[in-house]
Amino acid sequence: MFDKLQEVEQRYHELNSQLADPQVAADQATFRRIAKEHAHIQALVTAYSRYREVREQIEDNRQMLADKDEAIRQMAKAELEELDVEQEQLEAQMKRLLLPKDPLDEKNIYLEIRAGTGGDEAALFVVDLFRMYSRYAERRGWRVEVSRLSETDRGGYKEIIALIEGDDVYSRLKYEAGVHRVQRVPDTESQGRLHTSAVTVAILVEADDIEIDMQDKDVKVDTYRASGAGGQHVNTTDSAIRVTHVPTGVVVICQDEKSQHKNKAKALKELKARLFERERSEQQLQIATERRDQVGSGDRSERIRTYHWPQSRITDHRIGFTTHRLDDVLAGNLDELIDPLQAFHQAEALQSS
């Protein structure tokens, strides 16, 4: 571990020199790439620097244990206890920071939420979840752009798909994929009976052009008249776009924009994300089941979380974590759930390594 730490520290100093180079600063693309790598390893280098300081202080205090002065010996003993604890914490932190990063962690994502069992209540819960993710995105300075929305007569959403762009979006939201169950009393329930419904959440990584080889001949584009809310323009022009990837049969529809060209661009972007996710899923099926981490694969058939309204309780079934701060979480404080998941995943990865 310490050989690796010395390599990282050396690389950190190299990056410092490059960032101070006027030629690097003149090339914005290169400067951003170097600055990003510099920021990623800064926490590890800082921890390693503090670790060496703590080790030196431990050696000094051990020598002080042999001092003739009783007061000095007692002070050294007390400091040693604190330094030993800090040393253990720093070692754990460095091991965690040395874990290989998921190469997709920095990617943007498509968030797809669909109503499942439960009828109108499930559709209303889709609205609640999308509001929760939108508020969380706002807290983190992310950008949310809706690409598809299907509403119900009662104000719910049958389905909503949105592109979320920002720093480390996939890293924070990748464990949200799966079935989310809600238990609450509907407004229309006169007897006060608890109703259980569910929605599915999918997290699709936004694919770069170089990651997906999508030939023009494999893509069929159809235009048609948009339906639903949007006014006279939406209902009288062929602005809606349906894109079909012929080899796989994957279909994407976009009618959110009034412009046919904008809808086409959005649809093609989402199609690439779906093809990328399809390719990733096929690769994951070839990996031995024992290599799957215990947080869950994100398959939609997995019930990952329950939101219990009467008790103001949220339970994540994958790690057995429960919080009674339902209102705070729905208001966008999603770190309450994500942080324990990431900590669990990191602990499992550390144990495996």
Would you say residue 147 has pLDDT above 90?
no
pLDDT 10s digits, 196-252? 999 999 888 887 654 566 777 788 888 876 665 544 444 455 678 888 888 888 888
Q: What is the pLDDT of residue 299?
A: 44
**Residue-range definition of the domain harbouring residue 279:** 213-285
188/140 same-domain check: yes
92 and 165 part of one domain:
no
pLDDT at 297: 42
pLDDT for 173 equals 95
Do 171 and 120 share a structural domain? yes
Within this chain, do residues 24 and 65 fall inside the same structural domain, yes or no? yes
Beta-bridge mates of residue 110: 163, 204
Residues 15 and 44 in one domain: yes
Instruction: Pick the last residue of a domain from 268, 285, 302.
Output: 285
- Asked whether residue 299 falls in the same domain as residue 170, the answer is yes
In this predicted structure, what is the pLDDT of residue 278?
A: 80
Total number of domains in the chain: 3
Q: In this structure, what token pair is assigned to residue 326?
A: 């339902």
- CB-based burial of residue 180 (10 Å sphere; 0-12 exposed, 13-18 middle, 19+ buried)? buried
Q: What is the mean pLDDT of residues 262-282?
A: 81
**pLDDT band, very low/low/confident/very high, at 39 (cuts 50, 70, 90):** confident
pTM: 0.65
In a domain, 104, yes or no: no
Confidence of residue 1 (pLDDT cuts 50, 70, 90): confident
Where does a domain end: 98, 123, 152?
98
193 in the same domain as 119:
yes
How much is the mean pLDDT over the chain?
84
What pLDDT score was predicted for residue 228?
57
Average pLDDT over residues 265-283: 80
CATH number of the domain bearing residue 237: 3.30.160.20
What is the model's pLDDT at position 283? 58
Which of 76-90, 263-277, 293-307 is predicted least confidently?
293-307
Residue 103 belongs to some domain of the structure:
no
More confident residue, 268 or 126: 126
Model pLDDT, residue 24: 86
**Residue 33, domain member (yes or no):** yes
Do 335 and 225 fall within a single domain?
Answer: no
Contact 264/255 with Cβ under 8 angstroms?
Answer: no
- Which of 235, 268, 285 represents a domain boundary (last residue)? 285
Decide which of 228 and 52 is more confident.
52
pLDDT of residue 298: 38
